[in-house]
Structure 1
Amino acid sequence: MATILRTVRWTVLAGSGDPIALVTEAVAKTDFAVASTTPTSIVIDVPRAIIKNRWGATITGALSQGSKGTDIEWVVDGLGNKHYEHMVTIGEGMPEGSLDDHGIPEAVSKIALKMFGRKEIRHLANVLDFGEFVHAIGIGNLGGKMGIVTLTDRRLIFLEKSIGSENLVEFALASIGAISLGKKMGGETLTISHSGTSATITTLQHGQGDAIARKFREIKDQPTATTTPTAADPIEQIERLAGLRDKGILSEDEFQAQKTQLLGSI
């Protein structure tokens, strides 16, 4: 049976302490074991546990310096569907505030999430990229499955709520034409128009869909930063014109006229 690879990205925030030591201490609180470490890597062994219905796995972390601290790219190699759960288990042993939370607690605090648990919140963090920031969050139904609906600064994510599940649907912000809000007896709905098709998330609690739709419009309405083209260097332009003259595209007179004009602008 072939193993499955899953990638999880953490950022240990600057000032939190030595990342290798922090992870080692977190692993010591579990039945996992640190197999080896170097200044830029750590390998963790997850033993097979029949009682816990858990296959064995090997977790390899590569450390690098990031903008907020130390980035760790984890690769979880194992059977079964508990790859993310392994990382949640280790993450729960990390000191409070030591990991980049991606703005998730703040987003959760703005809205009632009665069905949300601590592990689901940590599970969400494990599918985010380095530096990805969460703007709005909710719980809804897509394709008959309940999941966490998350709007980040890069994409809209639907992640199945079950910690044992790894089903993820995502829509890049650039591919979304519009997000329409609707209301039904069962709650709010979001219809996402993207790449010529659409998808509808239903049964969002009151205010959750509205918060996501409004934040999306705010992001889309933000003016795109533009860069004013820098005028080309006159000497470079003269060299380019000389090349056109040499190829017979410009006559000598045309070349001299444009050269005189460019030299006058210096």
Structure 2
Amino acid sequence: MAFDYKNSPTDKTFMEFDRIAAEMGDIRLVSKKELIFIPSMLQEGEQVLAFTCGVMKGKRWLVTLTDMRIIFLNKGFIFGLKQIVVDLNNVNAASGETTMFSGRISFQDGAIIHTLESVWLKTVLPFSNKLRDVIELRRGMKEEKKTFSVEGDDFVSKIERLASLTEKGFLTPEEFEMQKAKLLRE
């Protein structure tokens, strides 16, 4: 069952965040100043899959992977909140790279490459693998929709072709009905 981030009490929400952090291999993940804002940013029914933090363009960001998008959050030292949101439908590729002490996660959003550096070593591979899996899952869903659409269009075009042949006199109305029934059975 999906966790309700919007309506759950704060302590339950943070227990869920702790569970995700442990799954990612990071029990000390980030300060709570960014995590506090995550539930208010999520859409209804949206699920957090993973998060990590790192440096992008000289600023420290909490990066949250949901089932719909990637959310970058940077809470200023005293005040201010910066956010970048990337829809997963726009993400083309993702990669993770580890060095001796830290790592780097990159993903491509159209022509823009987002690179998160100084990522804690233990979270690089779990986060990048989860991101890759979600991208592949969403691609598979798109392909299923396209396949269904093409099959549906194919059926419609066959019926239209039969109707056209009937109008031109190549098929009788009885033959048209017979062929249409045959298509419906397929």
What is the TM-score normalised by the length of structure 2? 0.70
Match of 1:108 among 12, 21, 27: 21
Q: 1:167 to 1:102 in 2, by over 3 A?
A: farther
Query: How far is 1:169 from its partner?
Result: 1.2
Q: Which amino acid aligns with 1:214?
A: N
Query: How far is 1:170 from its partner?
Result: 1.9
Aligned-residue RMSD, C-alpha: 3.5
Query: Match of 2:111?
Result: 196
- Asked whether 1:262 is paired with 2:175, we answer no
- Secondary structure of the structure 2 residue equivalent to 1:252: coil
Q: Which amino acid aligns with 1:216?
A: L
Query: Match of 1:12?
Result: 7
- Secondary structure of the structure 2 residue equivalent to 1:116: coil
- Asked whether 1:179 is paired with 2:94, we answer yes
Query: How far is 1:219 from its partner?
Result: 1.8
- Secondary structure of the structure 1 residue equivalent to 2:61: strand
Tell me the distance in 2 between the aligned counterparts of 1:263 and 1:215: 46
The superposition leaves residues 50-104 of structure 1 with CA deviations (integer Å, 9 ceiling, x where unpaired) of xxxxxxxxxxxxxxxxxxxxxxxxxxxxxxxxxxxxxxxxxxxx5743xx67953
% identical equivalent positions = 17
Query: Match of 1:220?
Result: 135
Select the structure that is richer in helix. Answer: 2
Query: How far is 1:117 from its partner?
Result: 2.8
1:230-241 equivalences in 2 (<5 Å): 241=163
The superposition leaves residues 143-181 of structure 1 with CA deviations (integer Å, 9 ceiling, x where unpaired) of 111010111111112110437322111221111111111
Q: Which amino acid aligns with 1:192?
A: F
Q: Is 2:75–2:81's contact at 8 Å kept on the other side of the alignment?
A: no
What is the TM-score normalised by the length of structure 1? 0.52
Query: How far is 1:221 from its partner?
Result: 3.0
Match of 1:159 among 51, 62, 73: 73
Q: 1:162 to 1:125 in 2, by over 3 A?
A: farther
Query: Match of 1:148?
Result: 62
Which ranges of structure 1 fall in alignment gaps of 5 or more residues?
Answer: 1-9, 14-93
- Asked whether 1:122 is paired with 2:40, we answer no
Select the structure that is richer in strand. Answer: 1
- Secondary structure of the structure 2 residue equivalent to 1:180: strand
Query: How far is 1:197 from its partner?
Result: 2.3
Tell me the distance in 2 between the aligned counterparts of 1:96 and 1:114: 17
Q: Which amino acid aligns with 2:171?
A: E
Q: Compare CA radii of gyration and give the structure with the larger one.
A: 1
More off after superposition, 154-163 vs 130-139: 154-163
Q: Is 1:103–1:135's contact at 8 Å kept on the other side of the alignment?
A: no
Query: How far is 1:250 from its partner?
Result: 2.8
